[in-house]
Structure 1
Amino acid sequence: MLRILLVIFQTLLVAFFSISCQSTNNRKSGESGTLRVMTFNLWHGGDAVKLPRDTTVKYQLAAIRRANADVVGFQEQTTNQSDGASRAKLLADSLGWYCHIVDASRAVISRFDIQPVDTTKVSQAVVLQLSNGADIVFGVMHLMYTPYEPYDIADGKLPDAAAAEASARKARLHQVQDMLDEIAAYSDYPTILVGDFNEPSCLDWTEKAIEDRGDTLLPFAVHWPATALLIDRGFKDAYRVVYPDVKQRPGYTWTSVEGLWRNPEVHDRIDLVYVSKDRFTVQEAAVVGEPSPMTDLAIQPWPSDHRAVVVELAMR
């Protein structure tokens, strides 16, 4: 009898510690001052992957769960290839999360309550109300995809950095400024801006980075204006905080589908997360995508032509 009681006691003890550890590991971010943020281009809602809809949704959810994300900013969250329904809303409902739809392309889903920053029009940014009582501004961008200057440089259409920067300023800079104008009244809030920039980070195209890259199709450095503006306004590139060496960790997110858009492809990191410089410590950063040397967190099959990015932030 004593032996049986001892076995029962040991079993209960193991179960107790297992539950305790599970509870700690599954504790919601925000309660401990951390937040996991993801940017994810769904590629026409996922329909462009040409898999059955339920299959695509399954792997989109798998990507969010694999990233252990608390909030996701989507681009291309609807499709013109089926019913045009919001894939973001479907994913939020599947997770039991909140959803804010910006437009046909952009949406935010979050395990935390969402309030739009601008109630007079469709708001590009929201306030996340974390479980620890903190409020954070979170905005999602999808900048103009054409002209895509890295391709034009590789094709000889843009002869120098001045021409590339002028083209990018004309195509996208007003969109970044529009976001900054919208959130200006919330300048005291910790702020996160994510999105598909359709333009590389200026940190990845410095003289040294281009020299290290050694691609004869890319003969000059470019100070890309969309990301340069955010840095000038007090934001930091979260991925580059963790991985400052561009050569060692290029972090390419464009593209996961080799040869689909250009051959030879010009790869770049265009899916980005920017955070208030003095309000967050960036603890982790990872690329989510298909099994490849560029991917940290792999999903197979991968349901997009962009790789996604997730970062873990601690609030100061």
Structure 2
Amino acid sequence: MKFSYTILFIIISYFLFNCNQKTELTIHVLQFNIWQEGTIIEGGFDAIVNEIIRTKSDLIAFSEVRNYNKINFNEHIIEALKDKGYTYYAQKSQDTGLLSKYPIISQTALYPVINDHGSITKAIINVLGEEIAFYSGHLDYLNCALYLPRGYDGSTWKKLDNPITNIDTIQKVNLVSKRDEAIDVFIKDAKNEIKQGRIVIYGGDNNEPSHLDWIEANKNRYDHHGVVINWRNTFELQKAGFTDVYREKYPNPITHPGFTYPANNKDIPIEKLAWSPDADDRDRIDFIFYYPDDRLKLNDVKIVGPKGDIVRNKRITETTNDEFIEPFAIWPTDHKAILASFSLTY
């Protein structure tokens, strides 16, 4: 029988085509400050579980993991999700935590919490053969300089005689915190992961605003009192090549301010929500960053949580163009969460 080179060409072409085909997977990343593990509000822990399920989150970065009463929070939440028919992976951590639908290869306390000055936890996660270096940050809440232009001390939250608007003074107070040390550790470590070919994603409550938000166009809004400032840590992240998902999707902070704090939690007395009761301290302090990679494409970003905020000790409903996924019932925290959807090619 005479062999046909045409048939051979077709067979080889078929296998080459199929070997080179790429598959796309959608992954949902949730950054979630859970306010002392959901213990501040009745039913808060169950609400955390329900929001993870409702948002179909694959990778979750938690802030305020405490392991109260010697109960491993990550084990607790894995079991609660398992009871509802969902499988997740996690390892014990403190202050920050990571939850994943995909196996965790390794986990480290990259910037361990010391005296409640913030932390960053890191995990290497295997997502169908692609390795993601996923980081969860909860940065130092003290020397919180965003309160100074609003007329409050950023460590005691006592009202000042006058707002502080000198940028050098604000930056000096900001750098007394441990936030910059934590971000510098992250950037150094992430660059090493990038060199190893891993995808890098960071989610965190940074307790510091974005330099992309405190701009000339809104210097007289939200009690900025004329301050235009390059907030150090988002500026350093951008300089190192990282992308803020919210500002990539919504570059205009006037139409889409993206406030994440203080959220109007209807089930909490207002005095527990307002740290500077005579000021408008709405800000975007919760973030998801990623390092641009051909395998990763940002699809969408939404705010998860109540549409309302706290302004001068009053509950208000926002009229911005931000897109919200509002809670069905209980919201477990005083922050809003950030949900980013990516396409992962593997």
TM-score by length of 1: 0.80
Q: Which residue of structure 2 lines up, in the alignment, with residue 137 of structure 1? A: 133
- Equivalent residue for 2:47, pick from 51, 59, 75: 59
1:164, 1:222 within 8 Å by CA — same for their partners in 2? no
User: Could you tell me which of 66, 69, 86 is aligned with 1:83?
Assistant: 69
Match of 1:268 in 2: 283
Residue matched to 2:17: none
SS at match of 1:284: strand
SS in 1 for 2:228: coil
Confirm whether residue 311 of structure 1 aligns to residue 340 of structure 2: yes
Q: SS at 2:208's partner residue?
A: coil
Which residue number in structure 2 is paired with residue 198 of structure 1? 207
Give the stretch that moved more between structures: 285-294 or 186-195: 285-294
- Alpha-carbon displacement from aligned partner over 1:214-240 (angstroms, at most 9, x marks no partner): 344532111111111111111000011
Aligned residue among 183, 194, 204 for 1:176: 183
User: 2:149·2:223 contact (CA, 8 Å) conserved in 1?
Assistant: no
The residue aligned with 2:331 is 302
Question: 1: distance between equivalents of 2:75 and 2:38?
Answer: 13
Alignment partners' CA distance in 2, 1:245 and 1:73: 25
Structure 1 CA distance for aligned equivalents of residues 287 and 228 of structure 2: 19
Cα distance in 2 for partners of 1:57, 1:31 equals 36
Q: How far apart are 1:31 and its partner, in Å?
A: 6.6
In structure 2, do the counterparts of structure 1 residues 217 and 177 end up closer, same or farther at CA, with 3 Å as the change threshold? closer
**Which residue pairs with 1:14 in the alignment?**
none
Q: 1:121 to 1:248 in 2, by over 3 A?
A: closer
Cα distance, 1:118 vs. partner? 5.1
One-letter code aligned to 1:44: Q
Q: 1:79-228, aligned counterparts within 5 Å?
A: 83-95=69-81, 96-103=87-94, 105-116=95-106, 124-131=121-128, 133-155=129-151, 156=162, 158-171=164-177, 172-187=179-194, 188-211=197-220, 214-228=221-235
Instruction: Kindly state the Cα deviation for residue 178 of structure 1 after the two structures are TM-superposed.
Output: 1.4
State how far apart, in whole Å, the 2-side matches of 1:216 and 1:97 are: 42
Any stretches of 5+ residues in structure 1 without a counterpart? 1-29
Whether 1:238 and 2:245 are equivalent positions in the alignment is yes
1:285 paired to 2:301: yes
Task: Return the alpha-carbon distance in structure 1 between the equivalents of residues 260 and 70 of structure 2.
Answer: 25
**Amino acid paired to 2:27:** L
CA distance in 2, matches of 1:89, 1:31: 32
Segments of structure 2 that go 5 or more residues without pairing to the other structure are 1-21, 82-86, 113-119, 152-161, 265-269, 309-317
Whole-angstrom CA distance in 1 between matches of 2:57 and 2:199: 18
% identity of equivalent residues: 22
1:304 partner SS: coil
Distance in structure 2 (CA, Å) of the matches to 1:92 and 1:190: 25
Deviation at 1:290, TM superposition (A): 2.4
Write the letter of the residue equivalent to 2:305.
Answer: G
Q: Which residue of 1 aligns with 2:61?
A: 73
Whole-angstrom CA distance in 1 between matches of 2:111 and 2:64 = 20
Structure 1 residue 182 displacement after superposition? 3.1
Number of aligned positions between the proteins: 277
Describe the superposition over 1:237-277 as per-residue Cα deviations: whole angstroms up to 9, x where unpaired. 00111111111111111011455222134010111000012
Larger proportion of helix: 1
Structure 1 position 113, deviation (Å): 0.6
Structure 1 residues 59 and 120: alpha-carbon distance in aligned structure 2, compared to 1, 3 A threshold: closer
Q: 2:50 & 2:57 partners in 1: Cα distance?
A: 11
1:249 pairs with 2:232: no
In structure 2, C-alpha distance between the alignment counterparts of 1:236 and 1:200, rounded to whole Å: 15
Q: Give the letter for the 2:76 counterpart.
A: L
CA distance in structure 1 between the partners assigned to 2:79 and 2:241 by the alignment: 35
Query: 1:54-106 CA distances to partner (integer Å, 9 max, x unpaired)?
Result: x2222111211222110101010226xx5252333322232221003332x11
